[in-house]
């Protein structure tokens, strides 16, 4: 199974909750090196002045992986799947989380390096007002 197929399977049906809920979209960019925010903006053909914030992988996913009082069985199952996704993303090297934009719409890219040096990970949209 390819890495992209594995990521697709891992995120299928998962929703990242913010003020709006959004799916996670997996990607593998063959031959692309994302070693900085500038490299990501260049690859995405975004304006170099777009605000970018980098956050830790665990901190970004904490709302999805931390138990909450009143979690029902579905929430508990989703939490386990998010924990598995974080573990899978952590197997990539140099995994970084980039938040693009200043709100209320923020695009997030979780990007790591594959064994062949390509970029891979997931992206999602957040709404923060």
Q: What are phi and psi of 97, to 5 degrees?
A: -115, 120
Report the pLDDT value the prediction gives residue 18, as an integer from 0 to 100.
Answer: 85
Residue range 35-54, pLDDT digits in tens: 999 999 999 999 999 999 99
Report the pLDDT value the prediction gives residue 31, as an integer from 0 to 100.
Answer: 95
Report the pLDDT value the prediction gives residue 103, as an integer from 0 to 100.
Answer: 79
Report the pLDDT value the prediction gives residue 14, as an integer from 0 to 100.
Answer: 95
Torsion of CA 82, 103, 20, 57, to 10 degrees: 0
pLDDT under 70 in the chain at which residues?
none
β-pair partners for 112:
120
* Secondary element (H or E) of residue 110: strand 105-113
Query: What is the pTM (predicted TM-score) of this model?
Result: 0.94
Report the pLDDT value the prediction gives residue 11, as an integer from 0 to 100.
Answer: 96
Domain annotation for the chain: domains and CATH numbers? 3-127 (3.40.1460.10)
Report the pLDDT value the prediction gives residue 129, as an integer from 0 to 100.
Answer: 83
SS (H, E, C) 4-37: HHHHHHHHCCCEEECCCEEECEEEEECCCCCCCH
Q: What are phi and psi of 39, to 5 degrees?
A: -65, -40
Cα–Cα distance for residue pair 97/60, rounded to 1 Å: 7
């Amino acid at each position: 199974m390819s890495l992209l197929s594995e990521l697709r399977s891992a995120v299928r049906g998962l929703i990242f909750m913010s003020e709006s809920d959004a799916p996670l979209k997996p990607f593998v960019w063959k031959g692309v090196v994302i070693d900085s925010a500038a490299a990501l903006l260049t690859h995405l053909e975004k304006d170099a002045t777009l605000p970018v914030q980098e956050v830790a992988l665990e901190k970004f996913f904490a709302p999805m992986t931390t138990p909450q009082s009143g979690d029902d069985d579905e929430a508990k199952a989703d939490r386990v799947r998010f924990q598995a996704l974080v573990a899978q993303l952590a197997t990539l090297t140099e995994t970084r989380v980039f938040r693009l934009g200043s709100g209320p719409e923020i695009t997030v890219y979780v990007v790591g390096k594959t064994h062949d040096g390509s970029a891979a990970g997931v992206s999602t949209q957040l709404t923060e007002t």
